[in-house]
Structure 1
Amino acid sequence: MTSTPVTEMDHETRNQFRASVKGASMTTRIINGLPISGEMAIIFSDRDLFPLDRKAETLQAIADSLQWLDSLYVVKSCTTLKPSNDDMYIFNVMNDSSDCIEGVAYLIRGVQGSRDTVYSFVDTLLKIVLPTPEEFYGVGDPDGSPGMVKIPGDTVVVSEIDSNKITMLSSLGDHYINNMTRFYGTEGQAVFFSTRDTLEILSYISFTLQSTGMLEEAQDELVITYPNGNETLVQDSTIVIRWRSLGDEVSSQNVELFISHLEVPDIAQDEDWESISGGAISNADSMIWTPGAADVDDILWLKMCNEDGSLCDQSGWHFEITSSGGRMVSRPPRKYDEISPAVNKNPISGNR
């Protein structure tokens, strides 16, 4: 089934949307001329990847698009999806652990000998009930065959869309929307499908707005994307540090990058940080860095600021640099991540 892509909102629109929209509701009239009832769910994800359910066999089929010996499972608890969890790498999907929404299905990619990685999320935007037809044609009816729909089901439903779903749908990166339809069956009653069967869905959406933030200008942002925490990097290897510059003004400003070896550095204290960019550099949304022997540590934090220091961002968690024999256990942002076809897989588990 073809998904509908939703391109990333521009910075100004995204901030106004998040600041002013408290919630939304969709009013839908469904005229079901099919001889069976059911429900339709509108689902969305940050990848064009939609499992029909959370059963192990369904996830196994999706895992076939990953790599040899990979596994796939679902996590719904933000308690598990914390950067302090050394068994899990979350920053492929989130820029910060506060982005996690409790109850959302996060697909986790398990790789033998490495940290498990949050691969994508899938959530339900809203559900629409397909009503049971009011009347069917009977035996001997000259206008239709027995079991055909004579009077379609007709109902109006209002579906609430909470602010968490709006936040996820407007997060950085592209998103995809699809639908999943489930029919209930006929409970032993014989029905007749025909080319005259129709399903009409008429809907409109209304937003609940708050005046705060609606007319305010969006503030510029710097967002570190890699390394953002829990990576293991290697001394003398070439590291491409990546970030996003959101806003017209900051995009044209020079930036400076820093690291800290402290367990809990203060982003506002200059003495907690040392420059790794050699001063201010042109803002190209990336910088190549080769960590040396002095950078080897199991706790390092990354910070970047614009040239005057008025705008800064800090990595979501600390990462480490090994002196030798280390390996990178997580990958750069997903748009640089190529996935190879798989030949075989380990059995996977369901929810965790």
Structure 2
Amino acid sequence: VITYPNGGETLETGDKKDVEWKSLGTNLTDKDSEKFIELFISNETEPEQCPSNDEIWTSISGGKINNAHTGGEATGTPIDIWKWTVPEPDGAEADTVWLRICGSNSDGASDCTKDICDMSRSWFTIKKEGIANSLSDLNRGRPKKKRASKGREY
């Protein structure tokens, strides 16, 4: 189950973020089994988790990666985290980005019809570094004014 980013976040190009999830089920939490995950993103408005045409999802992990390790081996407690450098969007920003994770006990090619998959609850945004896209971004760095509330003086 994806826990971050899980929808509503705004990430900047070049940011180093931890993609986080919670492993559920015996196959992914059993300390003696091998655990592999693959992370994907999609810019589709409403992507299907497991579409007949899987080209809408792009791997950001470069294939399946180990989700657990003990002394370099693929067994142990799931780490449930992956360090990700946020990529640059094609335009000024990618305003509908979805995350999908698929886990299995095999390091073979990903197959969302056989692997256990989850996707973010909603979309998140990736913007190019330094580009303001909201009033809160434009106001960042301005001194805050003290405001007097009714009956109080400052």
Same fold, judged at TM 0.5 (above): yes
CA shift for structure 1 position 247: 2.3
After superposition, give the CA deviation of every residue in 1:204-235 in whole Å (9 maximum; x if it has no partner).
xxxxxxxxxxxxxxxxxxx1000000000010
d(CA) in 2 for partners of 1:281, 1:302: 16
d(CA) in 1 for partners of 2:63, 2:9: 25
CA shift for structure 1 position 306: 1.3
Aligned to 2:107: none
Where in structure 2 are there 5+ consecutive unaligned residues?
Answer: 68-78, 105-109, 133-147, 150-154
Say whether the 8 Å CA contact 1:232–1:326 is kept in structure 2.
Answer: no
Q: Does 1:313 align with 2:95?
A: no
Which is higher, the Rg of structure 1 or of structure 2?
1
Aligned to 1:263: 45
Q: Which residue identity is paired with 2:86? A: P
Say whether the 8 Å CA contact 1:256–1:280 is kept in structure 2.
Answer: yes
d(CA) in 2 for partners of 1:317, 1:247: 23
d(CA) in 2 for partners of 1:285, 1:227: 13
| SS at structure 1 position matched to 2:28 | helix
| Structure with more contact order per residue of length (Cα contacts < 8 Å, sep ≥ 6) | 2
Say whether the 8 Å CA contact 2:13–2:89 is kept in structure 1.
Answer: no
CA shift for structure 1 position 298: 0.8
| SS at structure 1 position matched to 2:27 | helix
Where in structure 1 are there 5+ consecutive unaligned residues?
Answer: 1-222, 328-345, 348-352
| SS at structure 2 position matched to 1:246 | coil
CA shift for structure 1 position 325: 2.6
d(CA) in 2 for partners of 1:247, 1:311: 9
Matches of residues 217-228 of structure 1 in structure 2 within 5 Å? 223-228=1-6
Matches of residues 305-344 of structure 1 in structure 2 within 5 Å? 305-307=102-104, 308=110, 309=112, 310-325=115-130
Aligned to 1:243: 21
Aligned to 2:137: none
Matches of residues 69-108 of structure 1 in structure 2 within 5 Å? none
d(CA) in 2 for partners of 1:292, 1:245: 25
Say whether the 8 Å CA contact 1:241–1:288 is kept in structure 2.
Answer: yes
Say whether the 8 Å CA contact 1:233–1:326 is kept in structure 2.
Answer: no
Matches of residues 89-128 of structure 1 in structure 2 within 5 Å? none
Say whether the 8 Å CA contact 2:89–2:127 is kept in structure 1.
Answer: no
1:287 to 75, 82, 87: 82
d(CA) in 2 for partners of 1:326, 1:313: 31
- When normalised by structure 2's length, the TM-score is 0.63
Q: Does 1:304 align with 2:101?
A: yes
d(CA) in 2 for partners of 1:325, 1:294: 13
Question: May I ask how many residue pairs the two structures share in their alignment?
Answer: 107
Q: 1:326 to 1:230 in 2, by over 3 A?
A: farther
Say whether the 8 Å CA contact 1:300–1:320 is kept in structure 2.
Answer: yes
Say whether the 8 Å CA contact 2:89–2:128 is kept in structure 1.
Answer: no
CA shift for structure 1 position 292: 2.0
> How many percent identity over aligned positions?
41
Matches of residues 115-264 of structure 1 in structure 2 within 5 Å? 223-251=1-29, 252-264=34-46
Tell me how large the CA RMSD over aligned residues is. Answer: 2.1
